Amino acid sequence: MPTNFHDKLFINGQWASPAGTAAPKTIDVINSTTEEVMGRIPEGSADDVNAAVAAAKAAFETWPVTSVEERRRYLQLIADKLASKKEEIAALIAAEVGMPLALATAVQAGMPAMVMGSYAQLLGEFPFEETIGKALVVKEPVGVVGCITPWNFPLHQVICKVAPALAAGCTVVLKPSEVAPLTAFVLADIIEDIGLPAGVFNLVTGYGPVVGEALAAHPEVDMISFTGSTRAGKRVSELAAQTVKKVSLELGGKSANVILDDADFERAVKSGVGACYFNSGQTCSALTRMLVPRSRHDEAVAIAKKTAEGFTVGDPLGGAAKLGPLVSATQRERVLGYIKKGIEEGATLVCGGAETPAGLSKGYFVRPTVFANVNNKMTIAQEEIFGPVLSIIPYEDEDDAVRIANDTIYGLAGGVWSGDPERAKRVARRLRTGQVEINGGKFNPLVPFGGYKQSGNGRELGKYGLEEFLEVKAMLL
């Protein structure tokens, strides 16, 4: 059987056939560039979730009392193995999701190894106990954790949950996206290879309404960590509420990039286009709304048009393209629908559009698109598109820019550009969002990531991500 064709789940430290059927159902994994089947995974069921949760619950008897040094050793082994497989991981994700290979190697493969390693390091310095007066306050693992992850950064989002959960002493049942699941099997192979105790990590693949909902509702799952759409996050919360389990949600975004009148416009607009188009726009924190002074709107539009037209579209494995395809036919149709909606509602189409990119009859490609003269009440300014579509919105003054930036149900990320860093910080403090890039600030794996409002609750990465998987106990002496 080819490497990417899987017929077993990873439960209790071994590869096991799905429960209940002699001939298990499978789910095809589609190459987003060729539209051909590139792999298959098992279609798991609620019975498989039950088996995985039972294994995780049994393992929780011993894993939390494993020494910090031993947990650190396992995490570092996983980090090292992930780093050694970066070419394999990058190639899988470039084919599944569509990110150009060089970028996928650095980001889709590089970040998971970095984040896993950061938790191995953090464990050596994290205070699990604190004395307050005569009382001892201890931080203990929350228990069995169900991790439900998306397709856009398939391994990174897995590691952002699994690494801190294992570091905290929790045991895990992972349900990755069925759209881009193949690197979850790479991770399971690594975990088997390093000899992580049976039941500490379990992998059950399948569809959200079956496997995901069974995890969220399971009475012996103590916590759900979910990344995905706001709609799906609400459903997870509803199910989890029935057993009052802890829920951490990282959901949608419609992030504003505020370019102030004293910014370096050429640099800010160019960077802003890239921040919107990263991963073909398939990024929850993408800066999809560019807010510019009304008096400089046309200047910004001209720079954005020239920049967007430089984003060549093509095969992510070919080496030349800046933008690969979207992940699926469904996602492409969704994005094209939003582009048509923008035109219908009166936004000015600057470049791109709903037509198929020239010479690309196969693959889920979308032209890099810029809209100008966007009103923040338009659909394309309010709803998450998840494609390479930028909305340029004019504002009157700084207060108006902040008002527009905050005028959305989301609050995940944002950006502020100014020639005066202190002014940029003042504006950033007024944005109701979990993370703000100031003058193009770069990714930091140790700072918290997560959202306000309907972008979710809880945080990932660094010590803040670790604390999500801990309960606090006070011992009164």
CATH number for 277: 3.40.309.10
Q: Which residue has the tokens 């799906």?
A: 232
Residues 261 and 195 in one domain: no
pLDDT of residue 24: 79
Q: How many domains does the chain have?
A: 2
Residues 333 and 463 in one domain: no
pLDDT of residue 20: 78
Q: Does any domain span residue 345?
A: yes
Q: Read off φ and ψ for residue 294, nearest 5 degrees.
A: -55, -35
Provide the 10 A C-beta neighbour count for residue 67: 8
Residues 44 and 19 in one domain: yes
Check: CB of residue 24 under 8 Å from CB of residue 7: yes
Chain segment 385-428, per-residue pLDDT in tens: 999 999 999 999 999 999 999 999 999 999 999 999 999 999 99
Residues 407 and 313 in one domain: yes
Full domain range(s) for residue 73: 9-251+455-475
pLDDT of residue 319: 86
Packed helices 68-84 and 154-168: angle between N→C axes, nearest 10 degrees: 160
CATH number for 49: 3.40.605.10
Check: CB of residue 29 under 8 Å from CB of residue 40: yes
Q: Does any domain span residue 1?
A: no
Is the whole-model pTM more than 0.75?
yes
Residues 264 and 155 in one domain: no
Give CA–CA dist 355/334, Å, rounded: 14
Q: Which residues are catalytic?
A: 250, 284
pLDDT of residue 2: 55
Residue spans of the chain under pLDDT 70: 1-2, 21-22
pLDDT of residue 1: 42
Residues 201 and 326 in one domain: no
Residues 331 and 207 in one domain: no
Check: CB of residue 45 under 8 Å from CB of residue 206: yes
